[in-house]
Amino acid sequence: MKIIIVGDGKVGMTLTEFLSQEGYDITVIDHNPKVVNHVINTYDVMAINGNGASYDILVEAGAARADLLIAATSSDELNILSCLMAKKIGAKNTIARVRNPEYAQQLVFLREELGLSMVVNPELEAAREISRILRFPTAIKLDCFSKGRVDLAEIKLPERGHLAGQRLCELYRICKEKILVCAVQREERVIIPDGNFVLAAGDKIHITGTHAALASFFKAIGMFKEKSKHVMIIGGGKISYYLAHQMLDIGVDIKIIEKDEARCLELSDRLPRATVICGDGTDQDTLIEEGLASSDACVVLTGIDEENIVVSLYAQSLGIAKVITKIDRISFTDMVESVGIDSFVSPKTITANRIIRYVRAMQASGEHSVKTLYKIVNNQAEALEFLIPQDCTYTNIPLKDLPTRKGILFASIIRRGRVIIPGGDDHLEAGDSVIVIAVAEDFIKNLEDIFM
């Protein structure tokens, strides 16, 4: 499949990396010759130096035969124009990154009238992910499947707790809830555990289950944290705006600290119910004065990774229940984890995940395709959701007898709105949604790929 990526900034580069690993034919267009050189040297792709909205450049990049064009330059207008041009030249699908909140209302028009296949807004996506975690702060990260029916939560096992030293098959005895530990990260390794797996302190575990089941499980093991009620947001960028908007709607008390006075005015104009403070969010006195110590949660969203990390460490030292940090450079993630920051979001990874999911789904025919995809455990494993089609040949066979490939685990089955945490005797039925965890070497593009 032929994919053109216009603009190789943070998101474009992440996409180039992931998609070229998955074996697609990729052509990158960027106006900076240095970026073009870097891309050619680092990844197995073709790169063209030029303006991604210029007819000649698009033709040269082969837009006429492209299956997909992804426009991810820093300019919304250029992205939209580039998609429109490519569509007219003959590209089958187009994805534009549009981040300006003023355009957010016209997304439907962009999709339906202008023919864009998908419009992604990294800041909005990041804000959604943060708000999910804030609603369920026990988890370091939280992903949803099947319109929120099933949650996939990541937690880190504390030094002293009920779980360390437990066998997984004994978990049900402790909490009487139907949950499933589906992936464990121990140091750098990913493990897909079986019933005899023994947990250890410091493991990061990924658990699936319904929201309610997870909540009572965490209560049973004494790790449950209440939903955040008083949230302090440091930095007043686009993510802060979207996040505050979402949190205010569900009645959470929001305080935003932003340096720039004009931006503060704008925020207070658009978010009348939020408290907007004009001050330096990296200044200790300001933070104390504004009551950081008494908030339930602190979300650090300034534009500089280093500041975010330092402020987060400070907030953690004050004993705040939940600290979420924005990290832009993924090369930092290992280091961030090692200094003890667990909850962090990276807008570009989130965006890249959304687009990769779309690409995989596009490649598979119709209903066999991937419905949801998250990369978990530092991109080492994937959680995928499929719909079992009517003509599937693997239905009504107990899971333990299915010829699944190595490194595949059935995490949940959603049957007529009810969530089943599957055991070896459960089976698949047509119309089910099934959630699968995969650490396979090859990439899973459709349902058939998980079987031998």
Write out the residues near another protein by the rule CB under 8 A: 2, 20-21, 23, 25-27, 33, 40-46, 49
β-bridge mates for residue 255, sequence order: 232, 275
**Nearest distance in Å: CB 370, another protein:** 22
**Nearest distance in Å: CB 244, another protein:** 42
User: At 60, which amino acid appears?
Assistant: E
* Residue count of the chain: 452
**Nearest distance in Å: CB 62, another protein:** 9
**Rounded CA separation 308/301 (Å):** 7
Closest CB to another protein among 22 and 266? 22
Instruction: Take residue 158 and report the two structure tokens written for it.
Output: 């504390």
- Say if strands 2-6 and 25-30 run parallel, antiparallel, or are unpaired: parallel
**Nearest distance in Å: CB 15, another protein:** 14
Evaluate whether 168 touches 181 at the Cβ level (below 8 Å).
Answer: yes
Closest CA to 434 of 412, 404, 405: 412
Closest CB to another protein among 17 and 429? 17
**Nearest distance in Å: CB 363, another protein:** 17
**Nearest distance in Å: CB 67, another protein:** 13
CB atoms within 10 A of CB 441: 8
**Nearest distance in Å: CB 42, another protein:** 7
Closest CB to another protein among 42 and 294? 42
Closest CB to another protein among 43 and 218? 43
Closest CB to another protein among 20 and 343? 20
**Rounded CA separation 100/77 (Å):** 10
**Rounded CA separation 54/81 (Å):** 9
Closest CB to another protein among 60 and 194? 60
Closest CB to another protein among 30 and 177? 30
Handedness of CA 234, 237, 241, 246 (dihedral sign): negative
* Helix, strand or coil, per DSSP, at residue 290: coil
Closest CA to 388 of 436, 444, 423, 428: 428
